[in-house]
């Protein structure tokens, strides 16, 4: 599983690359990791401090059978104590700031009051 996660980290989609550039180096005030094994899954992004999983979905995830698998995956993660945020790749690419604001709203307040990102 670790080898597969390492492999996936080397083959990020354009949307995953964009989100990683926004999340890395604690830009939202907390640490994120990418392509992280959790149970039987490898999640796209994970913040341990917030137990927050972020998944980016491409067009193949709109297919009925894939959507059912994604729902089961999200349910397993939720039952295991993780919060899951899912975004469409196009949503991230077209409205990055809104996606980042949604992610940030799920994170613990770790910065001094009044300190913004960037």
Average pLDDT, the chain: 86
**What pLDDT does 108 receive?**
86
Domain covering 2-59+77-105, topology = Endonuclease; Chain A (3.40.960)
* 87 strand-pairing partners: 56
- Interatomic CA distance for residues 43 and 1, integer angstroms: 11
pLDDT in tens, 62-71: 556 778 898 9
CB 103 within 8 A of CB 28: yes
pLDDT in tens, 45-90: 999 999 999 999 886 655 567 788 989 999 999 999 999 999 999 9
The ranges assigned to domains in the chain are 2-59+77-105
Alpha-carbon torsion 28, 55, 39, 79, what sign?
A: positive
Q: Which residue has the higher pLDDT, 117 or 13?
A: 13
Global pTM reads: 0.81
**What pLDDT does 7 receive?**
59
């Amino acid at each position: 599983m670790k080898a597969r996660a390492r492999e996936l980290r080397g083959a990020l989609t354009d949307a995953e690359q964009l989100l990683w550039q926004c999340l890395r180096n604690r830009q939202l005030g907390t640490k994120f990791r990418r392509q992280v094994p959790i149970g039987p899954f490898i999640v796209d992004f994970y913040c341990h401090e917030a137990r927050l999983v972020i998944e980016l979905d491409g067009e193949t995830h709109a297919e009925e059978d894939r959507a059912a698998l994604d729902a089961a995956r999200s349910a397993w993660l939720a039952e295991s104590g993780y919060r899951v945020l899912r975004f469409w790749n196009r949503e991230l690419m077209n409205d990055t700031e809104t996606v980042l604001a949604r992610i940030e709203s799920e994170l613990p307040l770790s910065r001094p009051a009044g300190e913004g990102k960037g």
